Structures are given as C-alpha cells and as structure tokens.
C-alpha cells in the first residue's frame, strides 16, 4: 500500500500531465485563431487564453459552511483592421464558439472609430526567452484535507482566548492555472502557475457575552504562496488571527490632533499602491493623476528606493512577459526619491509619445528597499503617535492626491503601545505624505505583489471625537 507522501507525488504527477495537455491544446488553438483572423482580413490580432481549476473550503464556528470546486476557461480575442480594433471573448473553446467570437470581434472593429494609437506592441519588444520562474507547484489537495486545515485554523483562533466568541470563518483556497498569449508578430508565450492561501477572521468581546456591537472587535490574518509547503501552518494563522483580535479589545477614541503615524506593513503597501496607480499610463494620458508630468521630479526623501523585479522565483507577481508579450525587466521606479519611470503599455506609451515600459497588466513585484529598523525599532523612533493596523473605506482622489480614510490601530507613547483606538480618520495629501515618509521597516510583507515594510510618516491629521 502506498504511503500518503507517495500518493501525493503520484497525484501531483497526474496534475502536471493534465496541465501539459491543456497547455498544448491552448497553444494549438491560439495559433489557429490567429490564422483565422488573418484569413478574415485582420491586419493584426492577439489572443489570450486561460484555463484553471481550484478548490475553496470554508468553515464557520467549527462547522463546514461551503465546499466549492472551480473550473474556468476564457478566450479573449482582439483584431485590428488598420487602426480600428474590436475585442470579443468566450468561455467555450469549441470550434463553433471560437468562430462566433472571431466574427463578433471583426464586426465590432468595423464599427469602431479609428484610433491611430491602436495596435500590437512593437515586434522588437517581444520577449525572446521564457525562463522558469518556479510558479508551478501542483499538489492534489483533497476536500477532506482542505476542510481539516480550515477547521484546525479556526479552532486555533477560537481556543486561544475565552474572549474570542464568534467567527467569520476560515478558508483554504487553491488554484492551478495555465495561460497562453499569442499575437501576429509570431510571439507565443505560455505560463503555468499555482496559488494557495489560508485565511481566518474572528470576533472578540471584552465580556464573556456579546452585549453590544460597540464591545466587539474583529481582525484577521492570512498566508499565501505559490507553493503549498511555503504557507504558514493552520495553527499559526489561527493564533495570529486571535492575537490580533484580542489586542484590539477595549478600544478608545482619540481627540483630533496632528501626530506621527506608523502604517503597519500589511496596510503600508496601500500607500505604494496609490503611487503605482498614479504613474500608470491610463491615468496619465487621461490627465487623471496627481503625478502628471512629474517624471524626474523628487517625490520622496533621498533614501527612498522603489524598484521592480519581475523575475523573482515563486513570487506572486513574477512574469517573463507582460500582457502584450513585451519582455519584462528589472526597473527602478524611484531612486534617491526621484520618479524615474512611468508604467506604460503600448497604447498609453503612444498616447503620451513615450516608450513602452512593458507594463501592460501592471507592474510586477514592486519592492521598497527596507530600512535597518524592525517594527519595534520604528515604534521607538516614532516615540509618540498613531500605529495604523486597519484602513477603512477608499477616500482617495487620484487627480488631486487628497487622502482621507477611516482607520483603527493603537496609540503609542514613549515608543510603546498604550491602548487600541478606533473610529478615527487620517487625512492628508499623498504628495505631502510621500515627502514626509521618514523610515521604512525591515518587516517586509512578502505575501503580495508589493513588498514593503512598515512606513513611518512624521506628521498627519488625525480626526477623532
């Protein structure tokens, strides 16, 4: 009788064989679609195909809530008749459905207005190599095992402290996918990738009974990776969830004031995200960015270094080419606090009369150079101020940079956390806020596409009671 470990190896091998077949079929279909587009009179075309499978198990209060198997397929075709373009999509790979999609795309193209900036990315920009970025780590996870992981995670949270009285649930999610992109330049690219995550959210109260919503607090934690073995354990995720929830109990309100603000690493990445949105081509050519015409200008302090590394092994954002087949490469976005590069696709680059930077689909693996201080060191540096651990709402004006968001966290005195706070708003302007970032922590959050540690701002407006 085979051991569980050997069975897992066999099952993973079977999954690899299945995705090999998917990949080959999708590559053949992509070439066929482009040939048919050319026969229909299109001067150029590109096609994107995706196919994936996954499992989601959710438990709540120690009971199974949902088990969901996912299966998805998509084909998106864009055709060009000169500078007229049309796009259509389907989730059916049959010959009839694909023929109908091609006809629909051609019909749309014939009725759209001419746009001189339409077209494929330049042929010389296409990726010439597709290195193995170690994104594909198939593992056949049974429903029973996934449910047990979810149950163990939630149990660790519920059992940690008697003040944890309710749960929003724990969930394990898996996804395995194959993607193919091809265009009329002769470029054909394919990727295979896996993604796993485990999350938990619970509710605590200061009393053994829930007496009112005001006496309750909620928090969560999650782990995510390309490889299942790289996830934090179910017990660790549950304990972190419970500890983060309990520490927020007996929250107070603050009076309105000006003070230093420390953004904890999981929420600090949102500040970098607002910056990336402002330097993307779509916002720039529409003149909807507060960083319009700021290339070469000083946006951050001298020490600030933000860069892109799209070829990191096993990273969530890694890709050898962008959504138009353009080769991705290492790039400095900010050095010495100065904005060095926008993030442009072929269309936005033409609109702005600039060079394509290989960012169709967005930047990949953005990293803020970490500082020397860990989280506790940043608290000591701040001395007195607000630690933000949760942001609420989305009060961001992308055109002006005005920033106003609900927040929760902790008040800090003498470099130490004193008590939790809630029902506050932090406000400023992103241009000013970026200038006032005085330190980045070494506690880098590696779970997403933006990798940065906690960020300390020397002054912000805090609106309270």
Going by C-alpha positions, the residue among 424, 415, 357 that lies closest to residue 389 is: 424
Strands 366-368, 450-451: pairing kind: parallel
Query: Is the residue at 345 inside a domain?
Result: yes
Query: Is the residue at 326 inside a domain?
Result: yes
H or E stretch at 338: strand 338-339
The full 3-state SS of 33-88, as one line of letters, equals HHHHHHHCCCCEEEEEEEEEEEEEEEEECCEEEEEEEEEEEEEEEEEEECCEEEEE
324 shares its domain with 363 = yes
Is the per-residue pLDDT at 133 higher than 60?
yes
**374, 441 Cβ separation under 8 angstroms:** yes
Where in the sequence is the domain holding 29, given as residue range(s)? 4-246
Give pLDDT tens digits for 294-318.
999 999 999 999 999 999 999 999 9
Is the per-residue pLDDT at 230 higher than 80?
yes
156 shares its domain with 265 = no
Cα–Cα dist 177/53, whole Å: 6
282 shares its domain with 419 = yes
147 shares its domain with 231 = yes
What CA–CA distances, in Å, run from 304 to 171, 289, 307, 435, 438? Answer: 37, 21, 10, 10, 9
Residues 17-38 as b or e (16 or more Cβ within 10 Å = b) = eebeebbeebbebbeebbebbe
**124, 324 Cβ separation under 8 angstroms:** no
Query: Is the residue at 251 inside a domain?
Result: no
What average pLDDT does this structure show over 11-16? 60
Structure tokens at 197: 């995550």
For the chain, how many structural domains are there in total?
A: 2
Which pLDDT value is given to residue 14?
Answer: 60
Is the per-residue pLDDT at 364 higher than 60?
yes
**364, 317 Cβ separation under 8 angstroms:** yes
Query: Is the residue at 252 inside a domain?
Result: no
Residue linked to tokens 């070829």: 311
Q: 3-class DSSP state for residue 275?
A: helix
Is the per-residue pLDDT at 193 higher than 60?
yes
Cα–Cα dist 24/17, whole Å: 11
145: domain CATH number? 3.30.2290.10
242 shares its domain with 270 = no
Which pLDDT value is given to residue 209?
Answer: 45
192 shares its domain with 300 = no
**298, 430 Cβ separation under 8 angstroms:** no
What average pLDDT does this structure show over 163-189? 97
């Amino acid at each position: 009788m085979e051991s569980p470990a050997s069975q897992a190896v066999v099952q993973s091998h079977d999954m690899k064989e299945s995705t090999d077949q998917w990949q080959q079929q999708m590559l053949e279909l992509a070439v066929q679609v482009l040939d048919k587009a050319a026969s229909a009179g299109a001067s150029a075309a590109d096609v994107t195909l995706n196919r994936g499978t996954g499992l989601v198990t959710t438990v709540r209060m120690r009971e199974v809530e949902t088990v969901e198997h996912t299966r998805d397929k998509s084909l998106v075709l864009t055709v060009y008749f000169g500078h007229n373009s049309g796009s259509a999509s389907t989730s059916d790979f049959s010959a009839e459905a694909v023929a109908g999609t091609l006809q629909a795309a051609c019909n749309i193209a014939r009725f759209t207005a001419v746009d001189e900036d339409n077209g494929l990315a330049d042929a010389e920009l296409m990726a010439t190599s597709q290195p193995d970025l170690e994104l594909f780590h198939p593992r056949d996870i049974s429903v029973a095992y996934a449910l047990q992981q979810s149950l163990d995670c939630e149990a660790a949270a519920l059992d940690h402290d008697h003040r944890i009285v309710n749960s929003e649930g724990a969930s394990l999610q898996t996804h395995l996918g194959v993607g193919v992109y091809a265009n009329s330049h002769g470029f054909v690219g394919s990727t295979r990738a896996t993604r796993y995550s485990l999350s938990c959210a619970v509710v605590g109260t200061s009393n053994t009974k829930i007496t009112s919503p005001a006496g309750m607090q909620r928090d969560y934690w999650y782990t995510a990776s390309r490889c299942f073995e790289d996830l934090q354990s179910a017990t660790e995720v549950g304990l972190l969830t419970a500890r983060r929830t309990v520490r927020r109990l007996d929250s107070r309100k603050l009076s309105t004031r000006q003070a230093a603000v420390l953004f904890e690493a999981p929420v600090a990445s949102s500040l970098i995200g607002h910056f990336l949105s402002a330097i993307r081509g779509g916002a720039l050519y529409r003149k909807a960015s507060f960083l319009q015409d700021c290339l070469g200008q000083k946006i951050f302090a001298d020490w600030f270094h933000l860069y892109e590394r799209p070829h990191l092994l096993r990273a969530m954002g890694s890709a050898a080419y962008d959504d138009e087949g353009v080769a991705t490469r290492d790039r400095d976005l900010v050095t010495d606090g100065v904005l060095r590069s926008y993030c442009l696709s072929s269309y936005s680059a033409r609109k702005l009369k600039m060079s394509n930077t290989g960012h169709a689909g967005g930047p990949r693996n953005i990293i803020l150079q970490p500082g020397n201080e860990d989280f506790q060191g940043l608290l000591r540096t701040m001395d007195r101020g607000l630690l933000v651990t949760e942001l609420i709402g989305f009060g961001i004006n992308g055109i002006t940079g005005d920033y106003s968001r609900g927040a929760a966290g902790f008040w800090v005195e003498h470099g130490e956390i004193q008590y939790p706070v809630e029902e506050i708003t932090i406000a400023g302007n992103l241009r000013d806020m970026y200038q006032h970032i005085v330190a980045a922590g070494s506690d880098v959050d590696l779970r997403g596409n933006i990798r940065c540690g906690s960020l300390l701002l020397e002054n912000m407006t805090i609106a309270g009671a």
